[in-house]
Amino acid sequence: TLQYGLDKEHRQSATLVGDGDVAFAPIPLSSREVHLFGVVSRTQMGRLGELDASAGYTADRLGGRGAFLTARLTPRPAARAGLEVWLDRRLYTIVTTQRVLGTGARLAVRF
């Protein structure tokens, strides 16, 4: 499947004034307009379960740009036990000039 996505935010004020009239911003808001172009695939991996994968390119009109990759292997729904694993590499949500890598796993056993 081909995909296109748009994530658009416009910065608003998040500055607070504390004791002694000191201004600080508790939430690092930033404006961004991220366009995503990619492909998505789902395939059966036999006894291992299903593999969902996507890859493509993201470009922030107001900041960074770069490739992304996601993969998730999930066990069959009828499996008594299974291991779900995932990998996610993409632009950082708050500062799109940086990249972030996320991985994880979950073991499920049904009784």
Residues of the chain with pLDDT under 70: 11-19, 23-29
Amino acid at 25: A
Residues in the chain: 111
42 with 62: CB under 8 angstroms? no
User: pTM of this prediction?
Assistant: 0.70
Q: Is 84 exposed, middle or buried (0-12, 13-18, 19+ CB in 10 A)?
A: middle
CA distance 67 to 33: 16
Summarised one tens digit per residue, pLDDT across range 56-72 is 999 988 888 999 999 99
What are the backbone dihedrals phi and psi of residue 92, each rounded to the nearest 5 degrees, phi first? -65, 135
